[in-house]
Structure 1
Amino acid sequence: MFSLFKNKIYLALTLLVFTIGVGIFGYRFIANFSWVDAIYMTVITITTVGFGEVMPLTAEAKIFTVILILCSVVIVGFAISVISEYIISKSSYNDLKHKKMQDTIDNFKDHVIVCGYGRNGQQAVQKLMAYKKQFVIVELDEDLIERYDDNDGILFVHGNANEDETLELAGITRASTLICALPDDADNLFIVLSARQLNSDLKIISRATVETSQKKLMLAGANNVVMPDRIGGDHMASLVVVPDLVNFLDNLSVSGEGDSINVQEVAFDKVCPDGKELTIREVDLRNRTGCSIIGYKTPSGKYTVNPAANQKIEHDSKLIVLGRPEQIKNLHEAFGV
């Protein structure tokens, strides 16, 4: 729709420039005005401001002026109407789009809110999209929103994430997780405090730039604090110390469409659908899918690496499994992960 409006605007501007050019050259060569006087006469004639002539006009110049006035009135009127229609239609379209977007967000539940759509925010969104998680992005930069809001159905809330009203528009009381990906630690700290007050059950993951902010964010209510710069430095150092191990881990995929995943987490209700607690041996996941259990997370959040076969799988616990893509696919089919 707006491409049609843009074509009309280009046409109107082209006609307007053509009319001004004709007026300047007409007064220059028909009325023998200087270039400055020709430009002046053209402008006051097209805009119909009613100023006087710079010098008396000949009969030919008067006829030319009459034609120029009639043409310019039509062309200027056309240009004004097209530009006004475009502005009004775009405003109405944006209002309708934002209302539709907000209606969709209002129906979300247990979704993820991402505060900030910078480099880290975009990486988080890509991972969420790979896992087909519902998410909403809170972003203050309106230009950034206009650049991305039509891509892949991404939903934005325009506003300052420091304000409770903005978080409420994003559905903070119904969300399951909040990701604070703003570059400033103070902003992230304020968001964590506000979000924790609005939703005590919310899982909050925050970015931190300096180590001194990490403890403060945890005290404010963040469940996890990630320092991208430190992670990057550790990763580069590991490539020096244990390069083969790091390359192997880098090749493990934990997201995708199922044809490239190597690591997967499995909740208790998937391996024990009847609610009865079983041991790892009784689940027999290795023989049924080919995947290996490399980790076990207790209900309290404690991790056990390479758990024993007699490890009982408790309620609200999780298994971490490793396998080739086809084995992960078998896991999905056998346990509905």
Structure 2
Amino acid sequence: MKSLRFKIILAMALMIIILLAGVIGFKNVMDLSWIDAFYMTAITITTVGYREVVLPNDDAKVFIIILILSSVIILGFVVSVATEYFISFSSLSDLQLKRKLKKIKKMENHTIVCGFGRNGQQAAQKLMEYQDAFLVIDKNLDLLEQSGLKSEQFLVGNANEDEVLISAGIEKAANLITALPNDAENLFIVLSARQLNKDLRIISRASEETSYRKLKLAGADNVILPDKIGGQHMASLIVSPDLLEFWDNLSYGDSKSVNLEQVSYEQLFSHGKSCTILELDLRQRTGCTIIGFKSSDGEYIVNPNPNIKLTPNSKIIVIGNASQIKRLQEIYSI
């Protein structure tokens, strides 16, 4: 674009120069008035062949020949620049898409969100709060452009197509969330994604309970039924309202008031040796309390025993107020 901008400026400058040279030349060589000099310049540069104001002498003929040859070359250059300028409008979108795909190609360990409906928007919002790299795929261009997402955060296309998933960098992605309203489409995406990336963590939305097992068999690590969760949540507000309200007030996405944090062994230690929860002494150092433990084998333990050993690939879940969580994050650079 910089090269084209320079060509446009150069073309305009050459046109002004040839006009000024023609007007001044005709005025001096043929002793014409300014209006006649401009008229002669116009009919000479455009080669329309109208009659001369006065018959040219030999000096004027030489000047006219030079002016015609120069103007033909300059006008040819101007036309080519103008053509390139108008063509660039149609290719601008292609250029922007190439730049976007180039940025996406560099992404690693990101999350791909398929579908930008209600659930997809909530997932993207939460990832944004966590400042995790993500990319949204949806067929609705207007919806994506009005969402406030950056250009490199969304891709227009059908997530059912392998080419679109590959363009989204699925081979280097860490997670995939498919939140389409149609279970069949989610199932197809899960199958395709699992084939393209065996190590990908896949989370799928499901509308029907009958789709749960199919999505799991297709390769989804987790299947979420929003309607079921919503109904259970509403019933729980009747059975144990205080407990649910307390849980709802816990924050794990807003960096200003985080109450829950997941911490991996690798974030705590670099030596690779095992350490018990008691030896970690997290309560004394940060004020946070460990409420959950996930072993390297994937087993979850609620309110773990202090003698449980933290080993590589294990994780702990901690709870605390905003200042305690902030201290934890500062100490372990989370």
Specify the TM-score bucket, using the shorter chain as the normaliser: 0.7 to 0.9
- In structure 2, distance between residues paired with 1:122 and 1:91: 31
- In structure 2, distance between residues paired with 1:176 and 1:110: 4
1:326 CA displacement: 0.1
Q: 4+ runs of 1 displaced by more than 6 Å?
A: 85-89
- In structure 2, distance between residues paired with 1:176 and 1:217: 19
Letter matched to residue 293 of structure 1? I
1:163 CA displacement: 0.9
Letter matched to residue 101 of structure 1? K
Q: What residue is the counterpart of 2:262 in the other structure?
A: 265
Q: What residue is the counterpart of 1:103 in the other structure?
A: 102
Change (3 A) 1:89 1:280: same
Select 1:295's aligned residue among 280, 292, 297. 292
- In structure 2, distance between residues paired with 1:151 and 1:135: 10
1:90 CA displacement: 5.6
1:153 CA displacement: 5.1
Q: What residue is the counterpart of 1:70 in the other structure?
A: none
> Aligned residue pairs: how many?
252
1:238 CA displacement: 0.6
| 1:90-146 Cα distance to aligned partner (Å, 9 max, x none) | 644432322221111000011110100111000000010111111111111222233
Assess if the C-alpha contact under 8 Å between 1:261 and 1:324 holds in 2.
yes
Select 1:322's aligned residue among 319, 323, 329. 319
Q: What residue is the counterpart of 1:45 in the other structure?
A: none
Assess if the C-alpha contact under 8 Å between 1:105 and 1:171 holds in 2.
yes
1:207 CA displacement: 0.2
TM-score (norm 2): 0.72
- In structure 2, distance between residues paired with 1:159 and 1:246: 39
CA RMSD of aligned residues (A): 1.9
Letter matched to residue 306 of structure 1? N
Larger Rg, first or second structure (1 or 2): 2
- In structure 1, distance between residues paired with 2:264 and 2:163: 35
Alignment of 1:97-246 (within 5 A): 97-148=96-147, 151-152=149-150, 155-246=153-244
Q: What SS class does the counterpart of residue 171 from structure 1 fall into?
A: coil
Q: What SS class does the counterpart of residue 195 from structure 1 fall into?
A: helix
Unaligned runs of 5+ in 1: 1-84
Assess if the C-alpha contact under 8 Å between 1:172 and 1:198 holds in 2.
yes
| 1:295-323 Cα distance to aligned partner (Å, 9 max, x none) | 00011211101111111012100000000
Q: What SS class does the counterpart of residue 214 from structure 1 fall into?
A: helix
Letter matched to residue 230 of structure 2? G
Is structure 2 residue 280 aligned with structure 1 residue 286? no
TM-score (norm 1): 0.72
- In structure 1, distance between residues paired with 2:150 and 2:140: 19
Letter matched to residue 303 of structure 2? N
1:87 CA displacement: 9.1
- In structure 2, distance between residues paired with 1:262 and 1:87: 56
